[in-house]
Structure 1
Amino acid sequence: MSENLSLKTFVVLMKSAKSVQEQIKTDISSYGMRTSDFEILEVLYHKGKLTVREVSEAVLINTGSITYVIDKLESKGLLERSNCKDDRRVVYIQITNQGKQLMDEIFPKHQQVIEDMFSDITTEEKRVVIDVLKRVGLKADNE
């Protein structure tokens, strides 16, 4: 029987993704945070003020669950809400100075963990992986 490279690629991708996720989860927990907390702070840290919907789409957390996480982060003083002046249904979220200081301290360490995971891969290989995974994702979205 011939080797099914699509199936093998899928299995390797899923195992690799699981290993990477576990490493990231371990790193984030070393800062006393949950992954969902870190993801929300990270997107606000890099993108600035966003709506709840934009944050939800960026971090892949559904809007029902995200409210709970935002409430916790707001109670810790790490982010704040503000209402949209033009549309009362829209709520903006932004990182506070305290949240920014926290991310200034921990994000470079987190980024180094990611750099270390990819240290054996050349720049060109990274570009190829990005391209291939984007195409696979687009194909899956369109099926």
Structure 2
Amino acid sequence: MTNEQSSNALKLFIVLSRAHKVIHECTFQFFQENGLNPTEFAVLELLYHKGKQPLQKIGNKILLASGSITYVVDKLEGRGYISRVSSDSDRRVTYAEITKEGTAFMDVMFPKHEEQLVELMGALSEEEKLQAIELVKKLGLSIKDLSY
């Protein structure tokens, strides 16, 4: 490994970390102002766009430990945004499903979230966004194959 490789790897790490931090802080504030945390929003967004989901699968889809899903689902269910639905074909499976109240909430929230993301990413042209997507995806996939 050369000094240049090491230096560039460190710089990239810092740049990615700082960009993530700023984006996370802005979106976290938005969710908080609307009575949610990022995990609650992620569960609602998944159900809003993909329909009912088995509780056991939600954690993998939003990158959350399965133990935390029950807590998040309980909170969202308590607010009337989602409900639990038993499977007709397999008694071991319970689904989370967005309610009419949850859909109405997301009908308002999601476009605002989307607008915020467009604004946050506004420094990049559409071509640069596509390049960034491909480069970060390539990086993520290559790291996944490394063993530490």
TM-score range for the pair, normalised by the shorter chain length? over 0.9
1:9-35 CA deviation, whole Å, 9 max, x = no partner? Answer: 111101111111011101111112122
- What is the percentage of aligned positions where both structures have the same residue? 36
- 1:132, distance to aligned residue in structure 2 (A): 0.6
- 1:2, distance to aligned residue in structure 2 (A): 4.6
1:85-106 CA deviation, whole Å, 9 max, x = no partner? Answer: 2222211111000000001111
Pair 1:48 & 2:51 matched: yes
Equivalent positions of 1:101-116 (< 5 A) are: 101-116=104-119
Equivalent positions of 1:55-70 (< 5 A) are: 55-70=58-73
Give the paired residue count.
143
Consecutive unaligned residues of structure 2, counting only runs of 5 or more, are none
Aligned counterpart for 1:72 among listed residues 68, 72, 75: 75
TM-score calculated relative to the size of structure 2: 0.91
Q: Secondary structure at the match of 2:123?
A: coil
Pair 1:19 & 2:22 matched: yes
Cα root mean square deviation, aligned = 1.3
TM-score calculated relative to the size of structure 1: 0.94
Pair 1:91 & 2:94 matched: yes
Task: Give, in whole Å, the separation in 1 of the partners of 2:102 and 2:85.
Answer: 16
1:51-95 CA deviation, whole Å, 9 max, x = no partner? Answer: 113221121111111101101111211101111222222111110
Corresponding position of 1:134 = 137
Task: Give, in whole Å, the separation in 1 of the partners of 2:76 and 2:38.
Answer: 12
Q: Secondary structure at the match of 1:93?
A: strand
Q: Which runs of 4+ in 1 moved over 3 A?
A: none
